[in-house]
Amino acid sequence: MGGALLRSIIEIPRQPLARVTGGLYLSFILALTLADTVGHVGVGDVDLAYDALAADPSQTAVGLTFAMLSAFLFVLAAWGLFVLLKPVNLELALLFLMLNAIGVAIQMASYVPVILAMLATDTPWLAAAFSPPQVESLQRLSLDVQVHSFVTAQLFFATWLFPLGYLVYRSGFLPRFLGVLLVLDGLAVFLWFLQGMLLPDNPELVIPGLALSFIAEAGLGLWLLLKGVKDEPVAAA
């Protein structure tokens, strides 16, 4: 009885949690967009990232800050989705939470080369040991490693969407079309992963898929923020 009372006290109301989760998901998307726009950190072009670093290192620092913030917000959004969807199927909810966490860990590790590129700008002993063209080559290589490492994370960001989409579809308190969009989003991100690893010189191949990803994930965030969830019994999978 005491355990049941404790659970009732700490239980999070679903409707406020849904709205907070939607806000976190949209904030993650916004922060990731700002990281790419301001400092070209993330999936940006290496030449643009180097030009931003060479012109104003603080611009890269701001972009990197937004990128790290986006990873933090993504973990929180995934946790909110886990709490909402675990009554549908706990095992699958744990699976998508784990895949998301691994992807975010790789994403955070991908930012280390950006820090190296920033440090190379104002390191006296490095400037004394290497010529300016060599330092530039080191910075470009570091930024290129960052992009490829971020692409590696997409393997996990693709696969987390499959159990997530399935649970949204089966939940009964979220619209089924969102679940379908999320599964299609998973396929699109997986194709992005393959393109980045196998055809890195053809980024145009994934533009339609990225558009679908934005619609699916921004749509999920907006629905949770504005509509919340239906107060209906959970349809157990």
**pLDDT level of residue 136 (50, 70, 90 thresholds):** confident
Are the beta carbons of 78 and 97 closer than 8 angstroms? yes
pLDDT at 154 exceeding the cut of 50: yes
pLDDT at 125 exceeding the cut of 50: yes
Phi/psi for 179 (5° steps) reads -65, -40
pLDDT at 231 exceeding the cut of 80: no
**pLDDT more than 90, % of the chain:** 61
pLDDT in tens, 159-191: 999 999 999 999 999 999 999 999 999 999 999
Place of tokens 């965030």: 221
**191 token code pair:** 């194709």
**103 token code pair:** 């992807």
Phi/psi for 27 (5° steps) reads -65, -40
Q: For residues 216 and 116, what is the distance between their CA atoms, to the nearest angstrom?
A: 34
Centroid of chain to Cα 108? 10
The predicted model scores a pTM of 0.88
pLDDT at 19 exceeding the cut of 80: yes
pLDDT at 2 exceeding the cut of 70: no
Q: What is the pLDDT of residue 45?
A: 80
pLDDT at 5 exceeding the cut of 50: no
Buried b or exposed e, range 19-38, using 16+ CB within 10 angstroms: bbbbbbbbbbbbbbebbbeb
pLDDT in tens, 23-62: 999 999 999 999 999 888 877 688 888 888 888 889 999 9
Q: What is the pLDDT of residue 236?
A: 47
pLDDT at 75 exceeding the cut of 50: yes
